Every structure is written in C-alpha cells, then in structure tokens.
Amino acid sequence: MDVTSILDAQKAKQQNVTVEKETPLEIDAGHLMVSDLNPIDEESYNENLEEHLRALARDGTQALLAALFSLPTSKSADGPLAQLPPRTYQLPRQKALPKPKPPTKWERFAAAKGISHVKRDKKEWDEERQEWVNRWGKDGKNRRVEEQWLTEVKRNADPDHNPQLAARHERKERIAKNEKQHLANLARASGSSASGPSSRKAELEKSIATTRASTASMGKFDRKLDGEKKLRGVKRKFDPAERSVVDEQKSALKLIGSMDSDARKMRKAPRENEEGSVNARKAIRFASKGKGAASMAGGETRGKSSFAKGKKGGRR
C-alpha cells in the first residue's frame, strides 16, 4: 500500500489553493475584505500592468476564499451559508447612534411580569362563519355591530337606544383612551422638565397669584383668606416731594439718555417705511375700525368679529 503518492497528490492539490506571501495577507471576513501588505513588485508592475494586477487580485481572492470556506456553515435553501465573524475594521457611521428610548408603562409592567409579546395576525378564524375574518380594517370584526343591518335588542330596552351608535361610541372611546395613553408615554419619554404633579401645582399657584392681583386695587385692599400665601410684590417707592437740584438734574438727564438709547421700552421716531409713507398698521386699524386685519378677511372670521383683535375691542 503506497500511501505516499496519494499524500503527495493531495499535497499538490492543497498547494494549488494556498497562497504564499512574504507578509501573510490580512483578512477581515466580516467585510469580505483582504489586505495585501506586501510592497508592490516593481518589475512585474512595469512589465505588464494588467497581468500583474490580475495576479495580485487572484492571490488575494484565493486567500480570502480559503478563509471564508473555513468558517462554520449553516444549511439553507440556497446552499451552505458561512457564518461571518464580527468585523475588525471599523467604518464611521452614517447617523448618530439611536438614543435608547425609555420603556413605556406597559413595557415596564410586561418586563416585570415576564409577559412576552405575541404577534397577532390581521385575520382571525371565526368559528360561527367558518372563515377567516379581519380583526380590523375592511369588514373588520371590530365594526361588526355598527355595520350590520340588524341588531337584536333586549325586550326591556329603552326605545331611544341605538345599538349602532352605542357601538360606535364605545369604539371611539377606546381609540381616545389609546391616544391618551400614547401621548402620556411620549411625554414621559421626552422627559418633561418638571415631574407631573409638581408642575401642575406650580401652574395653579401662578394663576392664583395673577387672579389675586387682578382686582381694581391690584390686590392691595382685598381681605386675605385663610390658607392663602402672602403675595410677594414690589413695594412702590415714592421720592420725597423736595429734592436737590443736582438729583433732579441727574434723573432728568438719565431719562433723556434712556430715550435715546436702543432700549426697547421707549418708542422713538416712527419706524422707517421702505416703500412710500403708508403706515400699514394705522391704515389697517382705520379700515377695519379697530378690529384688526383678520376681521377684514371675511368669510369664516365673521363669526369671531365680536371678539375682535383690535385695540378697542368689539364695542364700536
């Protein structure tokens, strides 16, 4: 039994598919990439460029295929699939990493209870009708009562009871509830600045304070109820009637200075108009009799003209 010849033949075949290079070729199977880090051979490059390039590529591809064929494979319909290892060479991303979304209320509950998500199909088997019906959508089961032409009603039912409207109302309620929960989830996810109850409380206190100061005497002479907090406010300070001339001069000059400055509070000369000398604001006010430009538009805004936007309200 001369095995050596068989072994030699096998070795020769193996030689066929191995590639020998000075520096071994670096293979990143994850990217299907092979990098040949040997310096380019000048002679073969100058001799015949295309042949040199093709030989280089062939060697590189051979090494890459050897690596790929040695990977663990799994069976599939189209043949063996090689399981690629994770990538070594890293490329920059196109978009920033997705921010992890906080779990919704249901997701937290499900995680705690160990409930896994069950994917439901659009069609459901209806035993009565012995056919597949849609759960929602066209001819969906959820609209069955609304859409059927006959609904049985109890003997003692109210004569005004409309089962179709009742079913529709229920469905709309379910939708509204879902929307509300969804919005609450979004608000929680976006991380509202203040926590729910305390922000509401701050809002209420603010509106109470405003209301208290909205009386004719700006809240000064109103009786304070039990439990109301003391209002903080600026105490008006009045200068004495007689002042030195120097002080008066200083304050007068200061006032003139602030009028000249760019501070927003003082309205200076009328704004420069680009074209013509029409004061658009004044013109609109005159034409709309104080009600504003919106009332001049006509149509749907007519109904709102009593709550006019003009300065003098709707009383003209």
Partner 1 sequence: MLRVIKPKTARSKRALDAREPKEVEDPRTVIFVKGTHTGEVVNGVFKDLMALKRPHAVAFNKKNVIHPFDSATNSSTTSSSAAGSSTSIASLEFWAAKNDASMFVVGQTTKKRPNGMTFVRMFDGRVLDMIEVGVENYKAMADFKTPKSTPGNKPLLHFASELFDTHPRFIHLKSMLIDFFNGEEVDSISLIGLEHVISISLGPTPSTLNDATSMSLLPSTYSADSVHANPLAAVASASFIANSLPPTAATSLAMASASLPKVHIRAYTTKLLSSGVRVPRVELVPMGPALDLVLRRAQAPDSDMLKLAMKRPKLKKTDVEKGLGKKRKNVEVDEMGDLRGRVHVGLQDLSKLKGRRMKGLQEERPGKKQRIEEDDGDDDMDDE
32 binds partner 1 (CB under 8 A): yes
73 binds partner 1 (CB under 8 A): yes
Comparing CA positions, the residue from 94, 79, 81, 82 lying closest to residue 29 is 82
Among the listed ranges 28-36, 147-155, 198-206, 232-240, the one in contact with partner 1 (CB under 8 A) is 28-36
13 binds partner 1 (CB under 8 A): yes
Q: What are phi and psi of 131, to 5 degrees?
A: -160, 170
- What is the b/e burial string over 288-315, where b = at least 16 CB atoms within 10 angstroms of the residue's CB? bebbbbebeeeeebeeebeebbbeeeee
Binding partner 1 (rule: CB under 8 A), the pick from 7, 8, 24, 53 is: 53
For residues 192 and 296, give the distance between their C-alpha atoms in angstroms, rounded to a whole number: 40
Binding partner 1 (rule: CB under 8 A), the pick from 7, 8, 47, 69 is: 69
- Who contacts 61 (Cβ-Cβ below 8 Å, separation ≥6)? 34
Among the listed ranges 32-40, 109-117, 163-171, 270-278, the one in contact with partner 1 (CB under 8 A) is 32-40
Among the listed ranges 29-37, 140-148, 205-213, 281-289, the one in contact with partner 1 (CB under 8 A) is 29-37
For residues 291 and 315, give the distance between their C-alpha atoms in angstroms, rounded to a whole number: 10
Binding partner 1 (rule: CB under 8 A), the pick from 2, 3, 92, 119 is: 92
- Who contacts 258 (Cβ-Cβ below 8 Å, separation ≥6)? 265, 266
Binding partner 1 (rule: CB under 8 A), the pick from 48, 61, 251, 306 is: 61
Cβ burial of 130 (10 Å; 0-12, 13-18, 19+) is exposed
Binding partner 1 (rule: CB under 8 A), the pick from 8, 41, 147, 203 is: 41
Continuous H helices in 124-162: 144-147
Binding partner 1 (rule: CB under 8 A), the pick from 86, 191, 240, 276 is: 86
Binding partner 1 (rule: CB under 8 A), the pick from 82, 110, 133, 284 is: 82
How do 73-74 and 123-126 pair as beta strands?
unpaired
48 binds partner 1 (CB under 8 A): no
Residue 106 CB, shortest distance to partner 1, in Å, is 19
Q: What are phi and psi of 55, to 5 degrees?
A: -65, -45
Q: Which two tokens stand for residue 17?
A: 């598919």
Residue 237 CB, shortest distance to partner 1, in Å, is 45
14 binds partner 1 (CB under 8 A): yes
Backbone φ/ψ region at 65: left (φ over 0), alpha (ψ -120 to 50), beta: alpha
User: DSSP state, 41?
Assistant: -
Residue 248 CB, shortest distance to partner 1, in Å, is 46
Residue 75 CB, shortest distance to partner 1, in Å, is 11
Binding partner 1 (rule: CB under 8 A), the pick from 7, 24, 48, 57 is: 57
**Which residues contact partner 1 by CB under 8 A?**
9-10, 13-14, 16-17, 23, 28, 31-42, 45, 49-50, 53-54, 56-58, 60-62, 64-66, 68-70, 73-74, 76, 78-84, 86-98
